[in-house]
Structure 1
Amino acid sequence: MAHHTLRLRVRRITPEAEGILSYELVASDGGRLPPFEAGSHLDVHVPGGFLRQYSLCNDPEDTRHRYVIAVQRDDHGRGGSRAMHELVREGDVLTTSYPRCDFPLLYARSYVLVAGGIGITPLLSMAYVLRRQRVPWHLHYCTRSPERTAFRSRLVSSFAGRVTFHHDQGDPSQGLDVKALLATRTGGTRLYCCGPAGLMRSVREAAILHQWPREKVHFEAFSAEATGAITDRADTEFQVVVRSTGATFPVPPGRTVLNVLRANGMRVPSDCEAGSCGTCLTRVLEGEPDHRDSFLPEPQRTTCRNMLVCVSRARSRKLVLDL
């Protein structure tokens, strides 16, 4: 969590699709808000002691007077989304971090955006920026049905001709053909993907198959709540120890082990930073990981002494890593 926090009043809550609400947030004192860039998120203190990351989905040019986030209710998650839906009301004040961006929109000649479900949120913010830049881009939005497609009418009215919807009715084989989509690539194209683990895995495999340059492919995972990790505890700070040097660093709520290690000068291999590729798999010498990835098979979560440091945290107060 950032050292500086904001107090934001919920000015408006809007149903955006089945099970999805958007929250328009303004400064509680009526003042101006810090700027943000497309792909940014807020760490939000949710009633019940949860800390959750939600992408900003509005136009960054709105930044001086409002932020907009959207939350999909997950009745099988850890409770944060249920608390947002059930406990937060218009007029309430939430404590959040300043906007942070781990999924920046980098320069390219053209863009392919792939969203799955609530993963539309950071890509919607990017769409506003790309429209102003007048560069070629196209968004492929994958959902179960039109009723579960957040911001559908806004996407149709604001970005006509730039968005293709893919509804699979719960059968991924009937949805977007990712291999066909990525079979051709013009020079200078970047690919951005945000969505559930299965979609991101398919996109990554197709990008590798068709030899997209790794540096041109960008992913953002859902929060840990949506990666399949089930726990009834809110995130707490823990210590990570680097075995080779003995250096110890705190990992606060809202930050990942990978980000903390990088901030302290450590080079840890990583790729997706979404818990699905296995590149950052690191051996744990002491302590108990809290696995929040979609890479390790279920049996290995209790027997394997490895963790993906891009998303997983700790059940113990300290982790000693073989670094």
Structure 2
Amino acid sequence: MTNPPPGRPFEDPDEQERRAVTRRAFLRGAALFTGTAAALGGGLELLTRRPGAAPAPSAAPPLVAAPRALGPYDTAEPLTPYAQATTYNNYYEFGLGKADPARLAGGLRTQPWTVLIDGEVRAPLQVDLDRLRSWFTPEDRIYRMRCVEGWSMVMPWQGFPLAALLRRAEPTGHARYVQFTALHDPQQFPGQRGDVLAWPYVEGLRLDEALHPLTLLAVGLNGRALPNQNGAPLRLVVPWKYGFKSIKAVVRITLTRTQPPTTWSLAAPQEYGFYANVNPAVPHPRWSQATEQRIGEWGRQPTLPFNGYAREVADLYRGMDLRVFF
């Protein structure tokens, strides 16, 4: 990726976040539209969609959930409307259009579903999803989500920390990374019948990233069962990284000694690095990452380092040049 101009290093996360919050308050009060169509790649139809538009066809009915206080990792920012969060998605297994997943995902079979945890572990597991859910008490997490394309949402997930599952498998002393593999089934995923990407979709984290308490395995969204188009029945959520790191429809988790290949890093290594930490100081080769468009809102707002989670995760990258390890 292109580096920032000389003399403009990655700023102190806390200072940049304080300035960004102030500017965000100004932007949200502005009534003028700032012209974001080029960066959104056609996503602005969501800003003018008829209020009360129906949710995606495959959305599950609401679950009964009592009001709760915000947790230590929750953002208090307004939630992205459910109808938009479930109809504006990148999920190339169903097609390249933002509306394709909601239109085509209804037939995805999410039961039965098993997940394999293997590799550098002392206790490999192959577990049915229903049993997996019984092991953990679901947690609510309201996270920012930032797409590498320059748009963002605020999503209320339900799930459990990935660390809880990995510890059950007992990582060996050789484990350094975690590779995730999504379902490969061209009969159910029409996008997998083409070669736009190498299938199945794979992603990876360093082990310390995977064990961080922010890293979630999600099974629900907005108090409902996770919709197919949002990654049902099990997806990864890593809120300080660009959205493509949060792999959907996970069927295998493999602990490895070496850094695993990842789908987008293989497809375009000059554009999509292994780390994919949200860094407004490092532009994508074809657009700036300094600002973002919050879906459902007007105007652009500054992008925060680590997507606003610098206090929680910046220490994971101490001593690393984040303009190089992008």
Structure with the greater relative contact order (CA < 8 A, sep ≥ 6): 1 or 2? 2
User: Going by fraction, where is strand more abundant, 1 or 2?
Assistant: 1
- Answer whether TM exceeds 0.5 for this pair: no
